[in-house]
Structure 1
Amino acid sequence: MRYIDEQAIEKIALGAAVLGTGGGGDPLIGKLMAKQAVRKYGPVKLISLNELSDDHLVVPVSGMGAPTVTVEKIPSEIEVTAPLNRLENVLGRKVDVVMPIEIGGINSLFPIIAAAKTGLPVLDADAMGRAFPEAQMVTFHLDGFEPSPVTMADDKGNTVVLYPKDGVWSERLARALTIEMGGSSSVCDYSLMGKDVKTSVIPDTLTLAEKIGGYLLDNNDKERLGISKMLAELQGRRLFEGKITDIERRLSGGFTRGNASFEGIRDDQGRRFTIYFQNEHLVAKEDDNLLCSTPDLIAVLDAETGFPITTERMKYGARVVVVAFPCHEKWRTPKGIETAGPRYFGYDFDYQPIEVLLKERETCIG
């Protein structure tokens, strides 16, 4: 066990924005909220899977909605903990441990906020290894666990309890309610015992986010050593460097959807690229040639600082470095690809691992 303090939160927020592949909610807002909570209540306990008891009740705490909404409709501390309190009432017992459902953006920090207020420990693990746009895109769903009961809360004081039959229905019902709640909500789902959590989650992802954030905070502008260290850590690849020449972004069905066009610069001068997103970056192409697709990770970094840029923060003229990383092995199983591969999102091509796509095109930086 160790403690998460304000310095750790700074690094986690930055690293989680990389792993969040453009989504997961604005990490700046989450960082400020988490720092305020730790300042008010004290540092948060972070425990590993080895420290988790089989009979511990573990509950993910997260936010749902479009990232563009969260920028203007900032969640409150009460909104973050309300679904946790409602869940305890429904189950008739106390929660023992909270965890992030995804290691991305604000959702990596929601459980830290909840833990600071309640005094509960946070599990160093998540159920995606990245961020995905839909509620069923979690390892718990891949492993056959049910999300019920699902508790939700909004900024107006409303709380809701759902009993969906599976992760797909959880997404459909919770998304519809989130839209009615103003485009964002806080959620607790997949409350599981420690013995089940141990078999399904992706371990040590908060520690990984903190490590990546540390690399980028130490980044040398000219040498880009922080980016090089990050790519080495994640077995990542550089896709291209470019300038955003056009961005189309809209709020649709409770998601931030759209695409960004890039004109290559420096070594990529004369080349053109496109990234397609639904909250998270899903597909990267050079002209019609596929460079990377979900469930592998795509991250857009500021070319000067190396800091990640989320989908709602991308803007015309920004100079960026786009990188990609292989996803966790669970997402490369048939069910993983069926659940979160390109065809699920309507793209007419099969998933190919980034290592295959870029074998002869790109090499790791450093």
Structure 2
Amino acid sequence: MPETVTRSKFEYDPADIWVLDREDIEALEIGSAILGTGGGGNPYVGKLRARQAIDDGFTLSVLPLDKVPDEACCVSLGGIGAPVVGYERIREGREGLRCVRAIEEMQGFPVDLIVCEEIGGSNAMEPLIVGGMTGLPVVDCDGMGRAFPEMQMTTYSIYGHTSTPSVMCDVHGNIVIFQHAVTELFHERMARACVVAQGGGSDLASAPMTGAFLKKFAIPNSYTQAVSLGRAVIDAKRRHSDPIAAICERENGRHVFSGKITDLKRHLRGGFVVGEAMLSGIDNHHGEDASVLIQNENLVFNREGEVAVSVPDLIVVLDIDSGHAITTEMLRYGQRVAILALPCHPLLQSPAALEVVGPKAFGFPDIVYRPVVGG
């Protein structure tokens, strides 16, 4: 499969194209880590790869969602596997590109636009890098507005897109095609089994969507949100003000706990990092106990034995001094952290969405989802 620039049938007004520079990538690292709720792949590694792509002469560009042609062929992609693998194992670098080329070969015509599967963590960077390699813009949207651990947990799948045929590519050069899955959950299960065999980390591109579908069911302005969020943290630190307060103000969120990690249970199971972080309160929460339940991402926050926040809202673990998010694979005993609760996008709050991304979908049938109300 040739690795040349894709020739899309659409042309875009240069005034509509946002070309990201190194400062944008720096802010995106911070913002995508916050939105990643502990998962999505290590954002620092993603930042290094994105900066290298810029240094190599690739253009990382973003197109507003409302500028997407209805007939455009849009392919979403991202990493699949356990975040700790993505942090510890060096990528080959062209896994996502091979996914796109295989999709094009299957359908017999070129992809027009690259789409982000999830804006959290390094999965925000991968579409940009692939877009740079192919010469295609990335749409300013994603399918989660955060990170979730399973593939069927996108607004694309929730609202009717069939993600097969799809393509998975690994660091070794293997290309696996999932021709058909009877449900989106079966697709997830098959892909998860495959990624375990491939060493715990790969890229996957789903079946193309039309621009019309994307404009209706994607979560809009994801890259704008992530970069703006990162800039808010950078600006707060530059002004010597509180970055945690800046995040809450920017995202209409709440600072729900401050504590120190006193115990950490974490292991790799079935292609996921699962576990629990236990915390002892400090500052205004001195004398209180809390915990965060993990499956790649932070799923449930308990305080004093009661559920305080749950998916699909965002549970963010931050370094209490820097305001930078700590991904689940980087949690350590003794860290002083702040727990933030940020509201999810309304597309994740519908009854159909809660069946897929609510507490019951993660094995918590007794937890009733209560949306975060901003502080």
The 1:165/1:216 distance shift into structure 2, 3 A limit, reads: same
**Residue in 2 aligned with 1:315?**
332
Residues 34 and 112 in structure 1, CA contact (< 8 A), matched pair in contact too: yes
List alignment gaps of at least 5 residues for structure 2. Answer: 1-16
In the alignment, which residue of structure 2 is the partner of 1:219? Answer: 236
C-alpha contact 1:337 1:351 (8 A) present in aligned 2 = no
Answer with 222-231 or 99-108: which moved more.
222-231
Residue type of the alignment partner of 1:336: A
Q: Is the 8 A contact 2:274 2:294 kept in 1?
A: yes
Structure-1 residue corresponding to 2:125: 109
Query: What is the alpha-carbon distance in structure 2 between the residues aligned to residue 222 and residue 153 of structure 1?
Result: 44
Q: Percent identity?
A: 37
Q: Distance in 1 between matches of 2:136 and 2:92?
A: 19
Deviation string, structure 1 residues 4-59 (Cα, Å, up to 9, x no partner): 12111111111011001000010011110111011112332210012111111111
Give the superposition deviation at 1:117: 1.1
Q: Tell me how far apart the structure 1 counterparts of residues 33 and 108 of structure 2 sit (CA, whole Å).
A: 35
Q: 53, 58, 65: which is aligned to 2:81? A: 65
Which residue number corresponds to residue 202 of structure 1?
219
Contact 2:290 2:303 in 1 (8 A): yes
- Residue equivalent to 1:172: 189
Q: Is the 8 A contact 2:166 2:204 kept in 1?
A: yes
Q: C-alpha separation between the residues in 2 aligned to 1:85 and 1:222?
A: 46
Does 2:300 align with 1:293?
no
**C-alpha distance in 1 between matches for 2:306 and 2:324:** 27
Shift of 1:294: 0.5
Gaps of 5+ in 1: 357-362
- Aligned letter for 2:119? I
Contact 1:20–1:280 at 8 Å: present in 2 too?
A: yes
* 8 Å Cα contact 1:152/1:161 also seen in 2: yes
After TM superposition, the score normalised by the length of structure 2 is 0.93
Offset of 1:227 from its aligned partner? 2.2
Q: How far, CA to CA, are the matches of 1:349 and 1:329 in structure 2?
A: 22
Tell me, yes or no, if structure 1 residue 34 matches structure 2 residue 46. Answer: no
SS at match of 1:277: strand
CA–CA distance in structure 2, aligned partners of residues 218 and 8 of structure 1: 13
Query: 1:136-215 to 2 correspondence within 5 Å?
Result: 136-162=152-178, 163-215=180-232
| RMSD, aligned CA | 1.5
List 4+ stretches of structure 1 deviating above 6 A.
Answer: none
Match of 1:85 in 2: 101
Deviations 1:105-125 (A, max 9, x none): 010110011011111101000
Report the Cα offset of residue 222 of structure 1: 9.8
Answer whether contact 1:219 1:306 (CA < 8 A) is retained.
no
Contact conserved, 2:30 with 2:229, CA < 8 A, in 1? yes
CA-CA distance at 1:329 after TM superposition: 1.0
Please, what TM-score do these two structures have when normalized by structure 1?
A: 0.95
User: Does residue 96 of the first structure (1) align with residue 94 of the second (2)?
Assistant: no
